[in-house]
Amino acid sequence: MTSVPVENLNESETTEGQSEQTDGFHLIIDALKLNGVETIYGVPGIPITDFGRMAQAAGIRVIAFRHEQHAGNAAAIAGYLKKKPGICLTVSAPGFLNGLTALANATTNCFPMILISGSSEREIVDLQQGDYEEMDQLAIAKPLCKAAFRILHANDIGIGVARAIRAAVSGRPGGVYLDLPAKLFGQVLDAGAGEKSLIKVIDPAPEQIPAPESVKRALDLLKSAERPLILLGKGAAYAQADDTIRALLKKTNIPFLPMSMAKGILPDTHPQCAGAARSLVLKESDVVMLIGARLNWLLSQGKGKAWGGRKKFIQIDIEPKEIDSNVEIAAPLIGDINSCVSALLDGMKASWPEPPTDWIDTVKTKRDTNVAKMAPRLTNNNFPMDYHGALGVLRSVIKERPDAILVNEGANTLDLARGIIDMYNPRKRLDVGTWGVMGIGMGFAIAAAVETGKPVLAIEGDSAFGFSGMEVETICRYNLPVCIVVFNNSGIYRGTDVNEVNSDPAWTCFVTNSRYDKMIEAFGGVGAHATTPEELKRAVDEAMDSGRPTLINAAIDPAAGSESGRIGNLNPQSKLRKK
Ligand SMILES: Cc1ncc(C[n+]2csc(CCOP(=O)(O)OP(=O)(O)O)c2C)c(N)n1
Ligand SMILES: [Mg+2]
């Protein structure tokens, strides 16, 4: 398509004798609507305020946040839940930068999203002449996302939006940046020509069928296994290939281990789930099939003590470059997860050997022992409340409402909740993901409620909550069915550190006996204060049943947590540190 600067068009061509005109504002909205965009998450300001108004008037739901990072996180998780790019809209320079963390996080986590930012006058920006919010946003975004585009001419809007959508969802999904200079919005175009320039993206994430020889190689290896394991990553949850994956697990009877956000494809309570025997299955398995899971730090890079020696890996991934990233992959299977798992099932024909019974029994025994060991801790009604007592009741809340969505961040609050709370359905657990990033809480909770209409339970460390806490106003403003439980232990990891040098508090500690529940009351939401598991259960049940925006301050023993939750081993140690 040729790009004719609109201001160069002959006046008479656009204003006289032709009934209708359109402009950048409307074409962008039309392009998004044509491609099924229903919701935009953002923060208004120059040059996008009117654009947001017009999008709202055109029937797009526009959810306005208090900070772009949370709007960006909302867009990212909307993309994950819907398998379509979530849209975040920001102003130039500072707004763009605020959204960028979410864009980078989305790319790292393979969530499809598009960050659309208004930008300043190109001519001035490029000569660095000091424009309002001057910044070369495209250059800055490029290394942090999967693709970055700028649209200069209104008749390229169709192409630009199509490229952004395709880049976000095809192959391995990720974040895309779309730069819209202020001038673009006002550019006028003949309405007919404008309409013709739009593109409805055909098959944005096509099936990618694995090669037959890869399928055979994977099946041969799996058949040879004595202690097989299937490891499900959040890619498996994203793929929405739930039935196919369940069929594979049923057919093979192989124990499976879900990564955090893959929990619930089959319930954590399923007899094959090895979640409660994680250490054992990682160490003892001989053949491991990775489905949409990467061998990154969360899996100790596939080697070392946790893995107890060399394994043979089968890896299903849509991204060929992922293979051999950390250890040798004996049987790579490149394609989309549904196609790959379907091909494996087809190749298994009618009969497939069960794993040796001593392996199944070993896993089961370990799992049952660990579950039994944990059980009494989860039913305590201690005061001061500890993590296990509090999480024991939240576990029941989810068991009683398996359709609710759980958002979770923090350190102890995250690690313990992940292990304790069983999930029963796919894509119901949303958390800090690959980076372990704090600040996703309210953005994820808002988008989960907006996109699914289901009740949301956000379990937040008090530090974690602080990163996005102001968005409780957004939750109240849109009257969303979100119940936030702040695990208030007065600090990061613990609330007991002491600074022995001066009167400043230790830098991991917050104000003691604080009442986060008061925050939501300021905006008309329901606040509650819980000091025992019983009180907590009552307050959460009420919130989940009423659907009213609620924040429960769960007072947790400041001494109950441990440094960095379960990953304290990643802290560097000083040999010289003075005690
Ligand atoms: C953006 C970001 N900044 C800082 C951190 C470091 N960090 C990891 S966990 C955490 C907070 C842990 O405290 P809290 O949420 O209160 O959980 P607790 O362990 O006390 O239950 C922080 C600040 C991070 N992961 N991400
Ligand atoms: Mg804390």
Average pLDDT of adjacent 10-residue blocks, the chain of 579 residues: 43 55 98 98 98 98 98 99 98 98 98 98 93 95 98 98 98 98 97 97 98 98 98 98 98 98 98 98 98 97 93 98 97 98 95 96 98 96 96 98 98 98 98 98 99 98 98 98 98 96 97 98 98 98 98 98 92 83
Q: How far is the CA of 471 from the centre of ligand 1 (A)?
A: 18
Q: How far is the CA of 44 from the centre of ligand 2 (A)?
A: 32
Helix 337-348 and helix 242-252: axis angle, to 10°?
A: 30
Please tell me the distance from the alpha carbon of residue 377 to that of residue 391, in angstroms, as a whole number.
10
Q: How would you label 234-265 residue by residue, b for 16+ Cβ within 10 Å and e otherwise?
A: bbbbbbbbbebbebbbeebebbbbbbbbbbbb
Please tell me the distance from the alpha carbon of residue 346 to that of residue 221, in angstroms, as a whole number.
16
Please tell me the distance from the alpha carbon of residue 120 to that of residue 134, in angstroms, as a whole number.
6
Does 384 sit behind a cis peptide bond, omega within 30 degrees of 0 on the bond before it?
yes
Tell me which residue of 303, 324, 305 sits closest to 315, measured CA to CA. 324
Q: What is the pLDDT of residue 579?
A: 56
How long a stretch of residues is the chain?
579
Q: What is the pLDDT of residue 12?
A: 40
Q: What is the pLDDT of residue 577?
A: 77
Helices (H), 58-131: 68-82, 93-109, 122-126
Whether the CB of 436 sits within 6 Å of ligand 1: yes
Angle at 457 between CA 244 and CA 257, to 5 degrees: 35
Q: How far is the CA of 464 from the centre of ligand 2 (A)?
A: 8
**Cβ-contact 164, 173 below 8 angstroms:** no
- Return the best residue to mutate from 420, 438, 512, 514 for the ligand 1 pocket (most ligand atoms within 8 A of CB): 438
**Cα torsion 293, 295, 297, 300: sign:** positive
**Cα torsion 460, 465, 468, 474: sign:** positive
Q: How far apart are the first and last CA of the chain?
A: 69
Neighbours of ion ligand 2 (CB under 5 A): 461-462, 489
What is the H or E stretch that residue 551 is in?
Answer: strand 550-555
Q: How far is the CA of 438 from the centre of ligand 1 (A)?
A: 6
**Cβ-contact 407, 430 below 8 angstroms:** yes
Residue whose structure tokens are 């398995």? 285
Using one digit for the tens of pLDDT, what is the confidence trace for 146-188? 999 999 999 999 999 999 999 999 999 999 999 999 999 999 9
Reduced to 3 states (helix: H, G, I; strand: E, B; else coil), residue 189 is strand
Whether the CB of 387 sits within 6 Å of ligand 1: no
User: Which ligand approaches the C-alpha of residue 489 most closely?
Assistant: 2
Whether the CB of 415 sits within 6 Å of ligand 1: no
502 Ramachandran zone, left/alpha/beta (phi>0; psi -120 to 50): beta
**Cβ-contact 421, 449 below 8 angstroms:** no
Using one digit for the tens of pLDDT, what is the confidence trace for 210-257? 999 999 999 999 999 999 999 999 999 999 999 999 999 999 999 999
Using one digit for the tens of pLDDT, what is the confidence trace for 55-98? 999 999 999 999 999 999 999 999 999 999 999 999 999 999 99
User: Which ligand approaches the C-alpha of residue 386 most closely?
Assistant: 1
Which residue's alpha carbon is nearest to atom 9 within ligand 1? 411
**Cβ-contact 229, 366 below 8 angstroms:** no
- Closest atom, ligand 1, to C-alpha of 466: 15
- Closest atom, ligand 1, to C-alpha of 436: 25
Q: How far is the CA of 387 from the centre of ligand 2 (A)?
A: 11
Whether the CB of 441 sits within 6 Å of ligand 1: no
Which residue's alpha carbon is nearest to atom 5 within ligand 1? 438
Residue whose structure tokens are 């952004």? 164
Whether the CB of 483 sits within 6 Å of ligand 1: no
